[in-house]
Amino acid sequence: MSENVYVGNAPEEAALDAGWIMGHFKAPDDPRHNEAVEIKWGVHEAGERRAAWVRGEERQALLVLVSGRFRMEFPDQDVVLSQQGQYVIWGKGVDHSWEAEEPSVVMTVRWPSVPGYRVSP
């Protein structure tokens, strides 16, 4: 296989790093290391919430619902994703949080990949 091709398994790899499968936090020699983008395969139990709101967001993001029912919370509105493939995009400066209303799987893409947003579980 080419050194420029990496084949992985999102659910298996995500379980090893709090859901994250690509970003600045991967080792520099890992093909999933990337400072331009972060990708997360999020598996969440019903009722699970983000531990704290993201404030002063410096990235743009896209969250796509794979399965379940997932609510994104923003200062002026909540967005409920309930059908596979529904997505929400938000930009720099948009504070946010989330809650899984049902067992849910979501894929999140954020750019650029910058440190400083991890919260303790």
Torsion angles phi and psi, residue 7, rounded to 5: -115, 125
Q: What is the pLDDT of residues 10-32, one digit of tens each?
A: 999 988 888 889 999 899 999 99
pTM: 0.88
Question: Quick one: which of 87, 51, 45 has its CA closest to 66?
Answer: 87
Report H helices in the chain.
10-14
pLDDT band at 58 (very low <50, low <70, confident <90, very high): confident
Query: By the 8 A CB rule, do 34 and 88 touch?
Result: no
- Tokens at residue 79, please? 């967005």
Mean pLDDT of 41-69: 95
Q: What angle do CA 111, 91, 57 make, to 5 degrees?
A: 75
